[in-house]
Chain A
């Protein structure tokens, strides 16, 4: 056995002593799931997979990592992973949190749930629905997608009016830093135990603090490099008594963006997002046989939105909103529809209300897809689309395989925009071209106004190249929370942090 092999065996043995033999895996097929993602990120080298069952076990593992100086890569969602955040940069022990799947509390009155990292959207939706609440979800999450992983990554939710600030819908958290120390953020800082706080009537709804810290903001977006969240409270909203879905079709962006600004400002809608024809077809299709037929009759761009009525006079709410929003559409010169080719409102609601069926929607067209996503404002979208379209055209990639999904966030003040490149994974040349487009587009989009707030490969370098002062501060903070660099080494701007 080599020195490296011996060290790995020592680590695995120590992990077994913490979580038990049945919760440590070194089998190649299991490690293989964690060595790569479906995006273009480089392949990693997982040494083992450890599955803790409680915060105290996580703390012991982090302390062990500090002692033996190994890399911990937190992962909460099930494989396959999409973006590379849960794939080690080089070697690493996968900290698989999927065993920690307790819904610790659902509080109807305060519209909040407290959950562990392994809870998936489907599981939380089931619990919330029982008490008349709904979960705020990203668009069509995978069935095994962890709610906390999604929120910690600042994935956008589909209802912009409930996205008040960037932390939403994440509220209070318990964190274990790279030092092995616990911390609790927001109202959860206490004092007291969780049970005492709940008994006193707290809902763990205030996400800020304690005092002059807002450490949850440093952990969110950090891809597990600052700390490991052991549980969190998350916002739920009232499930509508009545909800209808509508469509707005456009040949160009202009009128649709005008409409979006007007209705988002007034917080009129529940769900609200925009797709281009290939992305919409991918969402509606069951498999790749349907895609072309579904895409062809669509308008180039479609806005999907819902109006809803809640506990109080739900029909009246819906009625006034329908009339008011029709007035807005008229002012913008657009027409609201109740159906589009291949789907009516009911079908769209059915899709939005459940985790994505298999195959994953972005993979339906050609079997695989690369994403590139960023933040911008709605008025900048036309120029960013032109940049991306131009890059695709230059490369000779099929224009009809460029998907676009636009999700307004922060009540319309900004938007998450993502381009998809649908490609055939069995065609190496095509996969390579798609990867090259991503790399080229990253640079061009960054200089055309795209803000890569969630830095993944291949745009991580350009994202941080543009903000050296931010990088300086982040590296300093990394040294505070993870002085031995045991948490997800090499991610973000932290390669070379010591």
Chain B
């Protein structure tokens, strides 16, 4: 229970109407089943929730936390367990009141936003200027600032619009000590066009590959890169979700491309990247797609061998949107794509005037569909995700396929026909991404309890192939085993934490926390292998294994 004095201090910071310690309100912030290993699916009930409306109110709230020995955690659009309290005594800063687009610099292609300006809102505004913003896999309902500064940031437009943390320019950041730090040009009062320097870039302690998930403070403003949008300033779309109807604009094409095997699939991706064509490219797990669109039907047909074999044959598929600034450019891109797919033994399906084109085109551009991933089973988890060369991502996809098969046979995950991976490339194929999602029913205790061993198994498979730990790197129990194999990075993170958070005010479990794995949940043979992998890869005083 939050002490009265602290409660009063929070009211002083943000106003009575923006503070609550009512259990019924607080529990809304503790129910976090997505990406949650804990079979109870609840996290700690926060001590209070506040809704700051400005940087100063964020700062005052943090100072109160420091003064009263409370912890704090910021929440923007909060999609999963990373946004929940991980310990007792946490004050949640729900940033929903800070939802403004502060500036659109059309010429220099960036937008300055607050934490709860969502992707759809920003995209609708910047498209009027012929610009677009990178959308993440969580969809247009999520906060681009959050993914840019704090957690992940993959999305299928990465081929043209990169990856959230690489799209950050200037940043305003309230440290856990209450100090406000501005990165790059805003720190020198020179606008928002750069986040790096003078000299070393402090973006180096802001997030990294995975993000600190709120463990380093609160990001209150940032500038994000915008990219060319050759489509109409306003897209006329009718209907919602899977019923969306819209016209494919001039100079756009949408294709489904099918390749005969993983090798030709990978070769095609590499060639598309090198040819510098494509606006959006994405491999969706086909079985997952069917499960999402037709959950009941998929449940009925999933056990049929012929269906599985069909999906298996078609699994090396990707969707691609080509976008041209002129008829000449789109014609060139189409010709190149046809050539690449044909030479790699595949075929492509032009969605053209097909009624599905609206769902695919606008669904991928506006990115409104991801939340329906909860439809088939009620919950899902995602594995792998250590980005690097596309070949390494194909390795991850294959590993995921193998692992998933085992858990499917035990009926511990929803049968999405065994098709596995969500993949795309970034920056003209500079690197790639692969996640392996699996769906489960949060009301099914067996399935819920299987989540952690499944995750551990994927991490071990990834480590065995030198692929890193991927998306689970933020987990305290994964950090405990991964850090000593990766240069003891948590030692340095703790050093940064000491500087920015001398009184330990941030809920930093997902930044520097370490926890022991419950070894009883792991098969003894797999445990033996896990130990061998760890011992082989440990760093020593003289450096990395050589």
Contacts and interface: CB of A to CB of B under 8 A. Distances in A.
Given A192-B466, A196-B466, A324-B325, A378 B107 contact: yes
Interface stretch (B30-38, B67-75, B442-450, B479-487): B479-487
Contact of B466 (A200, A213, A216): A200
Interface in A306-347: 310-313, 316-317, 319-320, 323-324, 327
Contacts of B326: 320, 323-324, 327
A212 B212 contact: yes
Interface string A438-471: 0000000010011111110000000110110110
B221 interface: no
Contact of A192 (B179, B189, B537): B537
A190 B187 contact: no
A473 B177 CA distance: 13
Nearest to B162: A164
A216 to B, nearest CB: 7
B274 A480 contact: no
Contacts of A327: 326
B489 A210 contact: yes
B5 interface: no
Given A206-B387, A211-B209, A451-B197, A201 B492 contact: no
Interface string A196-219: 110111111110111111111111
B276 to A, nearest CB: 7
Interface size range of chain A in the complex: 35 or more
Nearest to B327: A320
Given A192-B537, A451-B185, A200 B487 contact: no
B274 A205 contact: no
Contacts of A110: 389, 391
A445 B479 CA distance: 46
A210 B204 CA distance: 11
Interface string A127-154: 0000000000000000000000000001
A235 interface: yes
Interface in B160-216: 162, 165-167, 169, 179-185, 187-191, 193-213, 215-216
B275 interface: yes
A206 B209 contact: yes
Contacts of B211: 212
A428 interface: no
Contacts of B55: none
B181 A470 contact: yes
Interface size range of chain B in the complex: 35 or more
Given A413-B109, A451-B190, A212 B511 contact: yes
B532 interface: no
A183 B486 CA distance: 8
B208 A480 contact: no
A452 B203 CA distance: 17
A266 B228 contact: yes
Contacts of A219: 200, 204
B400 to A, nearest CB: 15
A202 B391 CA distance: 7
Contacts of A59: 542-543
Contacts of B275: 310-312
Contacts of B212: 212
A238 interface: yes
Given A190-B466, A324-B328, A165 B162 contact: yes
Interface stretch (A32-40, A91-99, A220-228, A350-358): A220-228
A2 interface: no
B413 to A, nearest CB: 26
Contacts of B189: 466
B222 to A, nearest CB: 14
A182 interface: yes
Contact of B274 (A238, A266, A319, A412): A238
B388 A191 contact: no
B467 A200 contact: yes
A203 B389 contact: yes
B310 interface: no
Interface string B273-289: 01110000000000000
A463 B209 CA distance: 29
A222 B199 CA distance: 5
Q: Which of A174, A187, A327, A467 has the most CB of B within 10 A?
A: A467
16 contacts: A187-B388, A189-B487, A190-B537, A191-B482, A206-B387, A209-B209, A211-B482, A212-B216, A214-B209, A220-B201, A312-B336, A413-B108, A414-B193, A451-B188, A453-B184, A466-B189
Q: Which 5 A-B pairs have the closest CB atoms?
A: A209-B209, A453-B197, A217-B204, A203-B389, A182-B543
Given A183-B487, A221-B201, A470-B183, 12 more contacts: A201-B389, A209-B209, A212-B210, A212-B215, A213-B493, A375-B185, A414-B194, A450-B190, A451-B188, A467-B198, A469-B182, A492-B198
